[in-house]
Amino acid sequence: MQHAKILLVDDEISIMQMVEMVLKKEGFINVLKASTGSEALEIVKRESVDYIVLDVMLPDINGFDLCKKIREYTDVHILFLTARVNDFDVLTGFDKGGDDYVTKPFNPLEIVARIKVQLRRNQKTESKPKVNVKRHDFGHFLVDEEAGELIVEGKVIPCPAQVFKLLVYLCQNVNRVLSKEQLFNAVWGYDYLVDDNTVMVHIRRIRERIEPDPGKPIYLRTVRGLGYKLVKDVTL
């Protein structure tokens, strides 16, 4: 894990230095830094990065727009650093391809904890024997864990990594009601933090891909007061 490449993107040098110092104290030796969007994009094109901490306010490009450009090259986990706390900005970040966010001011130890959790989850996923890999066929759509593909009516639909992970977890627990806490802990792995926005936005992004009418979901249903349930044997 400590050999993972972490990219920090922020024009506030003091913040980058603070996070870098904590990362190195925790044993991370490959910390890359960029103070502009163009620098960050060049690094992404050149290096195989394992995690990106991305500030929203950059001097040359909005962090949300940069995230969209990064997604053309990699599905690496992207955590936004933002002073913006309203729902619209958070939803914008997720819609552009972000996976998580932390608001400023923040504790750098929280950033490091999130990085560790995600890297551990990546290692576990990579080490799973292929005999456990499944294809989940719902008729209208199919989720292929081994290929990492969502196929809707025979067409492969682009699906950001974190959205796909959530969908796979729902498939593995088909017909079960899962609370927001269960989903967040299972997919993001932060036992100490449940973020309603994160779960709700990713649920919406799944519905936009798998539902014939996302406004009237028939596969991924809301169970009022309890959570969500992905169901099979739906009659279209």
* Annotated domain spans of the chain: 5-127, 130-230
Return the pLDDT at 192.
Answer: 44
The CATH fold of domain 5-127: Rossmann fold (3.40.50)
Torsion angle defined by CA atoms of residues 5, 9, 12 and 16, in that order, rounded to the nearest 10 degrees? -10
Return the pLDDT at 16.
Answer: 92
Return the pLDDT at 128.
Answer: 53
pLDDT > 80? residue 25: yes
Q: Is 170 exposed, middle or buried (0-12, 13-18, 19+ CB in 10 A)?
A: buried
Architecture of domain 130-230: Orthogonal Bundle (1.10)
pLDDT, averaged across the chain: 86
Position with higher pLDDT, 55 vs 3: 55
Q: Which residues pair with 137 in a beta bridge?
A: 142
pLDDT > 50? residue 235: yes
Return the pLDDT at 186.
Answer: 83
Least confident of 56-65, 126-135, 141-150, 203-212: 126-135
Return the pLDDT at 95.
Answer: 76
Position with higher pLDDT, 131 vs 17: 17
Going by the DSSP 8-state scheme, the letter that residue 226 receives in this structure is: T
Position with higher pLDDT, 85 vs 198: 198
pLDDT above 70: percentage of residues in the chain: 88
Q: Tell me the average pLDDT across 39-48.
A: 94
* Residues contacting residue 44 through CB under 8 Å, at least 6 positions apart: 7, 52, 70, 73, 74, 76
pLDDT tens profile 141-180: 999 988 889 999 999 998 888 889 899 999 999 999 999 8
pLDDT > 90? residue 130: no
The span from the CA of 149 to the CA of 101, in Å, is 25
Instruction: Work out the pLDDT band at 234, boundaries 50, 70, 90.
Output: confident
Position with higher pLDDT, 26 vs 129: 26
CA 183 vs CA 35, 45, 64, 172, 213: distances in Å: 34, 32, 25, 12, 23
Return the pLDDT at 88.
Answer: 63
